[in-house]
Structure 1
Amino acid sequence: MNKIVEKLTVILGKRSYPIKIGSGIIKEDNIFWPLKPGDQAMLVTNKTLANLLKDKVFYHLRKSGIKIDQVILSDGEQYKTLNEMEVIISALLEKKHTRDTTLIALGGGVIGDLTGFAASVYQRGVRFIQIPTTLLSQVDASVGGKTSVNHLFGKNMIGSFWQPSSVIIDVDCLKTLPYNQLVSGMAEVIKYAIIFDESFFSWLEENIETILSLDYKAISYCIKKCCELKAKLISLDEREKNFRALLNLGHTYGHAIEVHAGYGNWLHGEAISAGIVMAARTSELLGNLEKNDFKRILMLLKRTGLPIKGPKNMSAASYIPYMMRDKKVISGEIRLVLPLSIGKAEIYSNIDKNIILSAIKDSQ
């Protein structure tokens, strides 16, 4: 029998919302809270998932009495653009969706970000539901209300904070994932452990093979743990004024890789993995991170199958212009999230650029 394994809540006053985690739950009636019979909704997905999962979700939405339309976008990070968002807006207008409509994002981080951003601006804001289908979106991107599209000059530079009405995580969706996408998602899981929880990191070291084999108990624990950590942070710092920025460990370097390589050529998790190594090496060079902790981080990423080096054809100097466009830059100073030990990280600024360059060179 299918059942909801866990229900967590992101506490944001009147905008609080549930995260439901389970197996086969997208096939259950009345799972699509807060939708009720007679409501209007628009399902947003991509061409790949349209063949794999869309019909099941569509069927159960209709069965629940929802008036449902659909829009199918191209698949890939290179399509996380204003042009694709306009496709969603046009579909909503063509089908005469009003201010009380609900958008439903069925997909990974790209679909979730595009749908959330469209929901935040359509008629000045409508509800949306996240149904994340990749590990990366289940453990990170679907929770927290960050929505955005990419720009030629920088990743996630155009966007808004717009919280979903609910997040529905069906672990069975992971069976549709290509293996490299599963591995990519693990970069965000490892990131959480490095920032917040040494015992979780040790658990990952012991269980990495089991997790990658999609053992239900292990993967569910993984997702729940990350969602708990993120939900707590968002409740305390929704708009990233201070410590929510810790979640950007590895991202300043990683986003530089993604933009330089061309969106989609490096998977997000792959770039973040190389970025985590660069951040850890920066911290080691500053005398903050012990050599043994650095080795453990390197080894876990390697065992997971993630890259521990940046692109061969990208010079250390070429990272800096991208890093200077990072959203954490204040008054022209690069601010970096650096691990101090496994389970503890801090935000640093005024770091000597030569140390940053050395850390990048050591990770090439």
Structure 2
Amino acid sequence: MGQRFWKAWVVGLCVMVVIIPRMAWSLTDDEKNNIELYERLSRGVVNITSTVLERDFFFNIVPRQGAGSGSVIDKRGHIVTNHHVIEDARKLEVTLFNGKKYTAKFIGSDPNSDIAVLKIDAPKKDLTVIPMGTSKGLKVGQKVLAIGNPFGLGQTLTRGVISSVGRTLRAPGGALVEDIIQTDASINPGNSGGPLIDSSGFMIGVNTAIFSPTGANVGIGFAIPVDTVKAVVRELIDKGYYSYPWIGATLMTMFPDFAEALQLRVSRGAMIMELVPGGPADKAGLRGGKTRAQVGNYIIVVGGDIVVAIDGHAVESVEDFMRILRRYRPGDKVILDVVHWEGDRDRVAVVLGERPQGYRMR
């Protein structure tokens, strides 16, 4: 009896030794997917250290370093990151997954989409490309992974879902970026510029910011949609900057109070205050303001045409005008519905130009 008991006890112990570890280390399909994506793609996420010069308390010029992340996008060594990660940098250094460091060449950046491109001369065998997918058709609740390489401490992975789509975010250049992806995947300081990945292993966005009253992650992060990234990166690599459409005019939002005080026949729109001589709007025959008028505490230039629609899309403010205009490319022709100062309505065809470098659209 005693011998049989000990045999049974030994057999049971062996079964527990075999089964319990298997139970403890059994992975779900979702976990396996997370691990597979991290192991396959994390080598393509780099750390970016930027050195800028600034004045200290005693007005001495001293170097200051910042850190961010980036994604390798081709075997030529191009890396996409955020504009704000490399802004004003005097020196840029990229650290790969294997610890190798390279001085990066600045290729171009676009503050209005918060996208920048760098390039390093690294062996192709050390470059793992993060494939770009599409940001069309993304669904709230869809699983996403955020991979970063913050502060050169090594790659990190956070997991979450898309919590909203179609958000609007103001970029460092002042422009509103549309179709922003909102996620609850943690995007911590230093992760800016890293990729947002879907469950198939494709980049669907570039992580750019968090919303937080304290500076710590509270579960609201934002990523620039990859379809925007692809369009901007293509031009940054080709010519170092992204071309924006331009009509050559300074605009002001026409508020109902202004319209009522000026006895206009339209209450909302974007009023043309100034025209650039020889610019697209000037060539099309649009009219700018002629005289100054005081409305309450404001002095405004009046007399210009008021744009109320672009190709049938209603314009109620300058932001509406700019948002709609960014859907087009230089050389496209648009039809503007305008209300002349005298009250007559008109339709004017304008061939869009290319915004001059350094020009700020207002």
TM-score (norm 1): 0.27
Larger Rg: 2
More strand by share: 2
Flag the structure with more relative contact order, 1 or 2, with Cα contacts below 8 A and sequence separation at least 6.
1
More helix by share: 1
Question: What TM-score do you get using the length of structure 2 for normalisation?
Answer: 0.27
